[in-house]
Structure 1
Amino acid sequence: MPKLTFAAQARTALSGSQRPPLPGGQQDTKPVRSSAQITVSVIVRRKQPLNANALGEQRLTRAQYKAQHSADPAALKAVLAFAKEFNLSAEADAARRTVQLTGTVADMQRAFDVKLRHHAAANGEIYRVRQGDICLPESLQGIVEAVLGLDNRPQAKPHFRIHKGAAQTPDAIVHPRATNTSFTPVQVAQLYGLPPNSRATGQTIALIELGGGFKTADIKAYFQGLNLPVPTVTAVSVDKGKNKSDGPNGADGEVMLDIEVAAAVAPGAKIVVYFAPNTDQGFIDAITTAVHDTANKPSVISISWGGPEDSWTAQARNALDQACQSAAALGITVLAAAGDSGSSDGESSGNHVDFPASSPHVLACGGTKLTGSGTTIQSEVVWNETAANEGATGGGISTVFAQPSWQAGIAATKSGRGVPDVSGNADPATGYQVRVDGQNLVIGGTSAVAPLWAGLLAVVNAQSKTTVGFVQPRLYAANGSSSFHDITSGNNGAFKAGPGWDACTGLGSPNVPNLITLLAQSASTTKPTKPKPTRKTSAATS
């Protein structure tokens, strides 16, 4: 009996793909031109699932990962056949488990049983949207895990805040000994005990950016002002994302904050910036590109963008979490800002945590208000300047991800993954002196904490001659130890700080000398996994 074509097969909804209707319905939408060309990313199943229980204890080489956990060849074969039938061109990347399909809107609508419309957002931008489910032929169910890019509305926002009281000067260079309530990244690191002359030579820090850009002249001027070597900063385009300036009040502030904090804390590290569109597709493709970048080989990935968990489709959340799980298996640390809008994460009601910070495979970074001088911390409390409209650290309990095993001893997280894991200076009032588009600004937000910790971990990696990788189990095993400054005062709205872990500042801010000792010792004991035979997969039928 001949095989059914994909078009002739029964269709069922792809789990987790549902998009809710737009507020107000479709009165303000118009059909997308049927001949317009678009590209979507199809995420397919692995050959074998990763062993989540071994993360942090063992790691895979890239060869082992490719042999055991890259895309199932049968899944790739099936998706390529599906693409051919619907007149879609295809480009597969087995390591990323991604097949990018390009074709007309008409063919995409037929292939995925969706209707694509244009929607004018409040900001005047026009986005391509869909609602309801993506429906797949029955033979692709269980093979395809996500289809991203049919809808290109913005997915995330950057988590930085420009201090309103800070002077904006176009010509002055930030001075390494500036004395006021703000700090250079070097001064923050010194307050946390980073030893003088620490280096991260040989390390690569990846930064995920969904907008904005950097200017080499600003980077040069900034680091010369700090009397530090000018870092090597490379831009990588993902899904046609570009290093494109949009001004100091736009995403340029995020990009420059990330570069300047990470590189100042970790001199000698190479900085690679992955620019992608601000969509769920762009976000996930940027992370998978960084994780599997065999040319730049980042050991740390810092993410300062995110959005409330329930603003993501389940398929996109799962795909991003799986990408971070792959990073953990390969010994790459992924960090993310916990958000700047307190326990509500900017939602109109209830408590929400920010994603991807809430992924259990991400080190979630919350915020504090830090005051000090030289190497002496005078005070450190939860960042909450809501009264001054300057934000507050995100944090809370996930309603999507279960409590990880390494949080099992924390009663507050019994109902779900607790956020954040760690913290650092984030209050714009005690923020970071940075240079953006020729202006010197003071910027805060948990966006600064992710690259701060990324820089510290890059220093640890350089000193230990290996990567610390998935650090959460080791950090939580040290809960209450001298590796952290325990933050016990303040709140982020619904949650209060207290002894040990809390949903405002996690385990606390870093006591760097002790943290380096803890992680360098544990990194040296992490073992590569022994090769396992790859299970055979049967060819999928089409």
Structure 2
Amino acid sequence: MFYSVLVTAALAVNAAATPFNTHVVHERRHGPAHGWTKRSRLQENAILPMRVGLKQSNLDRGYEYINDVSHPTSPNFGKHWSAKQIAEAFAPSEETVKAVKTWLAEAGFDDARVKLSQGLNWLEFNATVPQAEDLLKTRYNVYEHKSNGQPHVACESYSLPAHVQPHVDFITPTVHFDAKVEPVKSKRQLRKRQSAQANKPARVVKPGSWTGWLPKLGRMLPSRKSIIKELENCDEQIVPDCLRALYSFPQNTSANSENSYGIVEYTPEAYVPSDLDLFFANFSPAQVGDRPNPTDLIDGAVNQQTNKSFDFNGESDLDLEYALTLVYPQPVTLYQVGDLVEGASFNTFLDAIDGSYCTFEGGDDPTQDPTYPDTLPGGYTGPENCGGFAATKVISTSYGYNEADLTPFYEQRQCAEYMKLGLAGTTILYSSGDYGVAGNGNECIASNGSFINGDLGGTFNPSFPGTCPYVTSVGATQVKNNTNILTDLASGTEPEQACETVIFSGGGFSNVFPLPDYQADAVNSYLTNYPPPYGADKYNNSGTVRAIPDVSANGANYVIAIDGEFGLVYGTSASSPTFGSVITLINGQRFDAGKSSVGFLNPTLYANSSVLNDITEGDNPGCATSGFQAQPGWDPVTGLGTPNYPKLLELFLSLP
């Protein structure tokens, strides 16, 4: 049985006894977070909004729960959970709530002062500085951020009674730099901070400045007449009908009100409305004027039209032109995330579709995630969006991190949220990356843990969130050169191979997440029958870790309308929304039949791999190697293969 490590502690806990006889150190950090400087002791008349994160129940059973509603042999397949069921399943036990409340009452915080959060996992109360310091056997200080003078309250360690510690995950504000508490300040301090902010130019976030990937532009087409729409030429240019032919799915004929498809974009990436119409005019005339409906603007997001170039518009134009066309007339929701100053992260999006995630396992990480209100000039000054946006039944994201960019705790916390979304019936798809076995920007991992140029070698650098076992990771294929797909499809010959044009399909083995049961046979078969010619110095070859991608779809030579012209683009950025469109069409058929959405895909796909087109040619080089090789069955280049719509539809309609 796959054992979830989602509750691994973020920080080492020193359980040695402190000078306070009944207390043990719960969390400790070594110095302030990056960019912060300790300034002074916190004034005693400040009021601290204390939050005690209660140890949640059953996170170690997450895989069991999601397998129960996602495995094709389960009698509960498709019986997805409500938000209330999910909250209650992972809520702290009555014993935990009672133990912590009793401790607080004995310290002078009676029930009238202590509130249990709606998500059932936090106790909230206000305390003066002396009360909080006595409660946690600590001392609070004011820290200041060097970039803008932003103050923050934190301590260096805190302690809990030994009998209470097993019931608590985190307490804030303490050692974490995620809650921006506003202490009482002198007028001089206030003027200093305001001056620092006024003189600080707004940080304009540019596409690609975070650790992610954008599609690669091959070449611009000289005119519309250069677009090749004939299916015989899909090896040169991919248009919507090429994808329909490759994967045998028809044009959609109707929309179902229960069905929904979401595309996630991060400001300042933005689609250009006139580009959508230019694309529709050429490939789906009935859609001219069609737009994402609705467009969910999260944390001050805007669909900016000031900066226009491939870097600013390429990703959004690509995702929406193909998603809208392939599932039409089914509406597509655009989740536009983050303001123009602070930007956004995956956690920003997850906060917005699940309010309980804002504080889950200690909340977001300000070294990786933006904090709102944004104090920089021009930033979003409203409160962080915690909930209020509905999750669609399929969510595709064409961005990603290197797994090595983030801490294991950060990744495990986020992965738990993908598990909960899967329980609720949402399919989560992420691109696997465009640099083969290397990470974003062709970076590999040096022996000392730093990043080096992949041309110099180094250890393989897998992507995240794809390595989360509750995500479906999508790699990239291409039509083989000089191939007529109609001839190949008619003869039963596979017309695609792993993508080796401009980009290479991301794939490899996690250094954080264990091997899930649903994938074990496929991964072990690959390692046994086609052992890669590398040792542990190149990748995690233990055979006990999660491997990616799970599936793939075409990612080369996509024709898109971009800033009033047409061009060819490449990347798993194209593969993920294409695969998501196929699943959305299948969901529509299931809803029409009175069934639920398919939800988490992986257990069903690995148990029925014949419903995918096996890709057996190509590789994904990187880190001065040829990477892995595509082979019969699953491989860490193209996964189980590309979609075969009739087989997928037959399978999913046969399930409850």
Shorter-normalised TM range: 0.7 to 0.9
| Pairs within 5 Å for 1:41-60 | 46=56, 48-49=58-59, 51-55=62-66, 56-57=70-71, 58=76, 59-60=80-81
1:314 paired with 2:408, answer yes
Alpha carbons of structure 1 residues 31 and 252: separation in structure 2 relative to 1, 3 Å:
farther
TM-score by length of 1: 0.73
Which of 5, 8, 13 aligns to 2:27? It is: 13
Q: Is the 8 A contact 2:475 2:549 kept in 1?
A: yes
Alpha carbons of structure 1 residues 207 and 288: separation in structure 2 relative to 1, 3 Å:
farther
| Pairs within 5 Å for 1:421-432 | 421-427=550-556, 430=557, 432=558
Q: Is the 8 A contact 2:38 2:142 kept in 1?
A: no
Which of 324, 328, 350 aligns to 1:287? It is: 350
1:214 paired with 2:271, answer yes
Question: Whole-Å Cα distance in 2 between the matches of residues 489 and 283 of structure 1?
Answer: 33
Q: 2:497 aligns to what?
A: 381
Q: 1:518 aligns to what?
A: 651
Q: 2:597 aligns to what?
A: 467
1:182 paired with 2:202, answer no
Question: Which ranges of structure 2 fall in alignment gaps of 5 or more residues?
Answer: 1-22, 41-50, 110-114, 126-137, 181-202, 356-386, 445-451, 453-457, 528-541, 622-626
Aligned residue for 2:437, secondary structure, equals helix
Alpha carbons of structure 1 residues 64 and 288: separation in structure 2 relative to 1, 3 Å:
same
Question: Whole-Å Cα distance in 1 between the matches of residues 574 and 636 of structure 2?
Answer: 18
Question: Whole-Å Cα distance in 2 between the matches of residues 161 and 262 of structure 1?
Answer: 15
Q: 1:484 aligns to what?
A: 612
1:365 paired with 2:480, answer no
Q: 1:239 aligns to what?
A: 299
State the Cα deviation string for residues 204-254 of structure 1 (Å, max 9, x = none).
212222231123333233223322432543322333333224433224211
1:164 paired with 2:238, answer no
> Which is worse superposed, 414-423 or 208-217?
208-217
- Quick one: which amino acid aligns to residue 224 of structure 1? A
Q: Is the 8 A contact 2:39 2:144 kept in 1?
A: no
Q: Is the 8 A contact 1:231 1:269 kept in 2?
A: no
Alpha carbons of structure 1 residues 100 and 453: separation in structure 2 relative to 1, 3 Å:
farther
Alpha carbons of structure 1 residues 44 and 446: separation in structure 2 relative to 1, 3 Å:
farther
Q: 2:431 aligns to what?
A: 337
How far off its partner does 1:374 sit? Answer: 6.4
Q: Is the 8 A contact 1:149 1:280 kept in 2?
A: no
Alpha carbons of structure 1 residues 254 and 470: separation in structure 2 relative to 1, 3 Å:
same
State the Cα deviation string for residues 114-170 of structure 1 (Å, max 9, x = none).
956457xxxxxx99999x99856647883339968589999954433333233266x
| Pairs within 5 Å for 1:80-91 | none
Question: Whole-Å Cα distance in 2 between the matches of residues 100 and 237 of structure 1?
Answer: 29
Alpha carbons of structure 1 residues 333 and 45: separation in structure 2 relative to 1, 3 Å:
farther
- Quick one: which amino acid aligns to residue 614 of structure 2? D
How far off its partner does 1:311 sit? Answer: 0.4
How far off its partner does 1:460 sit? Answer: 0.5
- Quick one: which amino acid aligns to residue 501 of structure 1? W
Aligned residue for 1:394, secondary structure, equals coil
- Quick one: which amino acid aligns to residue 452 of structure 1? T
Aligned residue for 1:342, secondary structure, equals coil
Q: Is the 8 A contact 1:191 1:373 kept in 2?
A: no
Cα root mean square deviation, aligned = 4.6
Larger Rg, first or second structure (1 or 2): 2
Aligned residue for 1:164, secondary structure, equals strand
Question: Whole-Å Cα distance in 2 between the matches of residues 306 and 149 of structure 1?
Answer: 22
1:69 paired with 2:90, answer yes
- Quick one: which amino acid aligns to residue 236 of structure 1? D
Aligned residue for 1:505, secondary structure, equals coil
Which of 247, 255, 261 aligns to 1:192? It is: 247
Which of 411, 414, 417 aligns to 1:323? It is: 417
Q: Is the 8 A contact 2:400 2:463 kept in 1?
A: yes
Q: Is the 8 A contact 2:398 2:576 kept in 1?
A: yes
How far off its partner does 1:111 sit? Answer: 9.7
Alpha carbons of structure 1 residues 342 and 463: separation in structure 2 relative to 1, 3 Å:
same
TM-score by length of 2: 0.61
State the Cα deviation string for residues 319-375 of structure 1 (Å, max 9, x = none).
210110111111110000000111022323211210001110000000111245565
Question: Whole-Å Cα distance in 2 between the matches of residues 183 and 68 of structure 1?
Answer: 45
1:272 paired with 2:402, answer no
Question: Whole-Å Cα distance in 2 between the matches of residues 384 and 116 of structure 1?
Answer: 48
- Quick one: which amino acid aligns to residue 466 of structure 2? A
- The percent identity for this pair of structures is 21
Q: 1:400 aligns to what?
A: 512
Greater RCO, 1 or 2 (C-alpha within 8 Å, sep 6+): 1
- Quick one: which amino acid aligns to residue 293 of structure 2? V
Q: 1:300 aligns to what?
A: 394
Q: 2:128 aligns to what?
A: none
Question: Aligned pair count?
Answer: 472
Question: Whole-Å Cα distance in 2 between the matches of residues 113 and 457 of structure 1?
Answer: 51
Aligned residue for 2:332, secondary structure, equals strand
How far off its partner does 1:447 sit? Answer: 1.0
Alpha carbons of structure 1 residues 214 and 53: separation in structure 2 relative to 1, 3 Å:
same
Q: Is the 8 A contact 2:296 2:389 kept in 1?
A: no
Alpha carbons of structure 1 residues 30 and 114: separation in structure 2 relative to 1, 3 Å:
closer
Alpha carbons of structure 1 residues 249 and 155: separation in structure 2 relative to 1, 3 Å:
closer
Aligned residue for 1:381, secondary structure, equals strand
State the Cα deviation string for residues 388-412 of structure 1 (Å, max 9, x = none).
xx22111001111000000121313
